[in-house]
Structure 1
Amino acid sequence: MHPDPSDPHSEHHDAALLAAVAGLADTAAADAATDDLLRRLVEVAVEHLGVDGAGVVAAGTAGPGDLRLVHVSTGGPEAPERLQEQLAEGPCQDAALFGVDVVVDDLLDPVQTAWPSYVDSALAAGWRSVVAVPLLSGGRLGGVLDVYRRVPGTWRARELHWVRVLGHLAASYLALAADRDEARRAREDLEHASTHDALTGLPNRVLLFDRLDQALSSARRRGRGVAVLFVDLDRFKAVNDTFGHAAGDRVLAAVAARMRAELRDGDTLARLSGDEFVVVCDDLPATDDEGRQRDVDAVQARLRRALAPPVRLGDVDVVVSASTGVAHSGPGSTAEELLSEADAAMYRAKHPAGQATGTGGSLRDLERQLTRALPEGRLRLHHQPITDATGTVRAVEALLRWQHPTRGLLPAAEFVDLAEHCGMVVAFGRWVAQEACAHLARWRSAHGPAAPETVYVNLSARELADPELGRVLQDALERNGLEPGDLGLELLESSFIDPLVLPALHELQRRGHPLSIDDFGTGYSSLARLVDLPVRMAKVDKSLVAGIASDPRRRALLDAVVTVAVGLDVEVVAEGVESAEQAEALLAAGCDYLQGFHCGAPGPADEIDLRLR
């Protein structure tokens, strides 16, 4: 190793070693991987410490004994180093375990050794002396450096000093590299989380639009085409209602994995929200309509094949199908236009144009008529009372109706899905907010304290994503002299599967709007979900209310819902109350308010006037 201090060349050797150590620092700063840094450490040790061989191991995450051999110098002690890793014994293992240097002047000396298998291997390979130095920095073990000599002899203080210097400096560089790698992983994880769906790992809406924009730009440059497939699972709400949201999540994850496995490498599969998926197929023929359609048909066939096998949920097989809409790019297509066209095509596939709608006529006719409902003044707002134990009207729920020109008054259930798919639901929601506030202001003027405290309007997940929602609600309140606490907002529990909903709800709650969750209690994860929701009121689904007076199982579930809600300071409303017997049982179970035909049927604002008088 290095000569003693009297050697006139010692300063030269020291300078060379320091230069080599500086090179290690450069390697670390150059964003080198940890293993590359450790390999360079072995080269520096053999070249500048005057030893005959060296080896280095990296520390794992399972504790001090979790060591992995990274590198051995050329012609170095490979056999004993590998044996240390395999048997978890030897000077390297002791240095890691106790955090101290292990110095063995002669491997034949039994006083200095306690690892018979390792010693036999080292001696058989011609090694007689070893020093193991733990690479420690800030209490964190990065690995262990072993240096070997073929002849026995005492390791002098100067020699050990330089081995330790090299080891300690290398440990510092390893710690820096580890911190850099950890920061990079955290940054990558954050970037991934912001662009991918947490449940399925698929690209989310943000990344979907980015990929679609890139595909369209590339297609325009290369004279190619892009197709967008909008995939909506059929009757998926029934899966959540029957088996619970946790089971529904498992189905979604399984479906996503199957579809992804069937697509081409260049295709993008994204989860838009809920049970809606989007496939972007690029590099398609731009002018060969037949060829383009053939490629898209092949993709659709593979997706059908992926969904064909049932998904196993415990002892039950759940059959999943989907409706798909396709849109093809044109010369000036935008991502928003393509997605909207594919969405509309999916809706037409799910509800064929010639199919009866349940009220007579075709869906296409209904859609055309619905677009004229707002400008022609055919929307109506009815209200249903929400009463307390004394029968006093404490709040009302505003319910949208459509006065159809030939079919009479239609409830929202018969047209609101169509309104959402046609892009009219946001405009309808703005009209509802204005009307509901106007009605509440009129009741207060006429009836004073007897008027309802709050009017609740229903919002869809799409309305919550409207950036103008806050301004619209504030405008409705200011026009009618009301405060945010007077206008409650109600959502279906199924809406909370959309990741965009929860942040929007927190903002609305911060503004002062009371929030209510409808159809509560229908999903397996409902009670756990309630903890995260900023709601004042939870409406127990009517499926729990029916038979509550005589069914002990329904009563037990209702008791659980009420117990959790009370603990979270959430008021409970029982929906679908149709008899005095049900009302008595629900109030006895701890429900705060009742809603249903027993308490009052939905009706125009004038009927609420009569009720308040």
Structure 2
Amino acid sequence: MRESSTSCKASRRPSRRSTRHSPTWRRSLPERARILIVDDDPVIRLLAGSALTDVGHEVVDAESAEAAIPLLDEARPDIVLLDLQMPGMGGLAFCAWLRTQPALARLPVLVMTALDDSGTIQNAFDAGASDFIAKPFNFSILAHRVRFLLSARDTLQALEASRRNLQEAQVITRLGSWELNRASGVALCSDELYTVLDVDPQEAPATVQRFMQGVHPDDLERVQQGITQAIERHEALDIIHRFLTRERQVRWIHLRVKFEYDADGQAVRSYGTVQDITAQRRIEERIDYLTRHDPVTGLANRARFTEALDERIAQHPAGTLSAVIHIDLDRYQRVNDSLGHEAGDALLLQVARRLAQALSGSARLPGETVPAATLARWGGDEFMVLLADLPSAHEASRVAQRLLGAIRRPFRSGDNEVMLDARAGIAIHPADGKSASELISASTAATHHAKSHDVRDLQFYSPDINTDARLQLQLEAELRAALASADGDGLLLYYQPKYDREGAICCAEALIRWQHPTLGLLPPSRFIPLAEETGLIIPLGEWVIRRACRQLREWGDAGLPIVGVALNLSASHFLDAGLLPLLVAETERCGVPQHLIELELTESMIMQDTEFVRAVLRDMHEYGFRLALDDFGMGYSSLSQLSFLPLDTLKIDRAFIQDMLSVPRQAAIVRGIIALAKGLGLEVVAEGVETLEQAEALRREGCDLVQGYLYARPLPADEFARRLIA
């Protein structure tokens, strides 16, 4: 079982070698744009500017909001990248000031912040930010965010231009006029009126009755009542209704009428205009749709879901329950990073369709009832479901299990089969909250509790979760502080030795621990998931790489035998273009031969994008770093692909070792893995060896190295050093 996942900082500019196999997203970026970067950190300005310049943009920068103001007029940027925490005016104040300037009110602003709590993000959006990205960030993701904002800007500008053009065209076109003698019932009409209403002037006389025949049946009574009331009140009529053309196509008509009266107050004459506003109505409907729906999946968005939840709470029937289910996908980000954003969006659309089908009546079992449901994309890889009129909380559990089951079936992405998982949190109204915000917070808290405690099943909200959430927040703050300190403030590397066939230590696996000031020695399972969730896995990985290199240097200076050290990598590290430059820099700084560092990869990680993986692995291998495939046999790798990867080591998962002496098939698998590795010229390591019988069987089969509790548990650095000289 893997004990830790480490990474390095995504903001490090990749070396020429590490980017020569970069993904093809660059070719789809919009045309050259001028970007203003406002950040008091010169390193961020340099690295972000370099990354954006590399993909074809022009970059100008400023170290403060005050310095940026004159550049707005001089450089006329297309987008602003803005740090929130700066001395002086500050990012929030600068963003708010921008929105008060008529010429800059629609300028896209992407805020950059290391404070990714919901309050900071909300304040940024309240000040007028267009989007945000949390520091430290991956620069390829930054380029995609910029591309998205530029595309969104162009789309909004196109919609606004279309609206203006339509308004101008309405003054001179698509506007018909008429004058009616109410005594005779005959109207004098302009030629354009016949065009607007699609009426042949030769077919019938221009009478009120003739034109009323085209009014949509669902609007006819409303139009007639409007005319009657306007005459009775001596008011003008201004009404919008639908009109059916000769081809039975619907047009939206804006009807304006004024009346003239005789001495007795009877309407004797009327005149007015009819205007075809169909195009305008469609644009308005589209804009309204986009403001209430997610553009990728077509589902309701946050605003629409919250609105629906407010309506449900207001109409809550006595004796019934409502449930809010929050669903958070697992492993989606890895697919998005590996296969690209287009593939990621297509996968989200597949997930949305499956969830909708699971909630529909077509998915129910015979005799099973289906509660009324509202499905929404909450953002990123999160979804929300509102279930109304439930007889019991058990019904919410049943529906949530169905939703999770739908997500756990394989998906197709091009030629790839993709497996996703998800966690679900459930809040019940009115027990867990009486407002929309309370229920949403409760359901998301339940999901986060499930993730942090590795609960694969659904999780109902309880007050205890809030207590746990506060503890997690405190632990996150303490981990940030530890990483900010010079020595790691309690972070430790333990080393589990690997023994060769003669019983000598030849290398070790580095495993992270945290000596917490109040909670004691914490295993990686206690804080690694938190680091993954909060983005701290990047600086944590940096610390591990630096500490391991420094430890090798210290052992060498002490005259100890030379051994290699294996480091685990998570997917986020593996996809980070800054990993290789960091490894090269640290090994050179510490004077450590690069072949002493081995990077352990998982099968599922390296099979996400074969071509990209091959390129990155080749670069690492060319520099001399060793590569090991960890937990072999437990993932999804293809043997046909395995022979093309520049690996040095296969590690047999402990699950096969534990039962190899009692289960013949397990023994056969172990023999097969060893034979495969030997055929490919790879070293074989067996982990989880706990008995002498297991060790002897592995030695007979030709296994090169073993590690496990039979020999040693993970050891502190000083105790491992004593083992080296024993």
- Normalised by the length of structure 1, the TM-score is 0.49
- Normalised by the length of structure 2, the TM-score is 0.42
Q: Which has the higher contact order (CA 8 A, sep 6+)?
A: 2
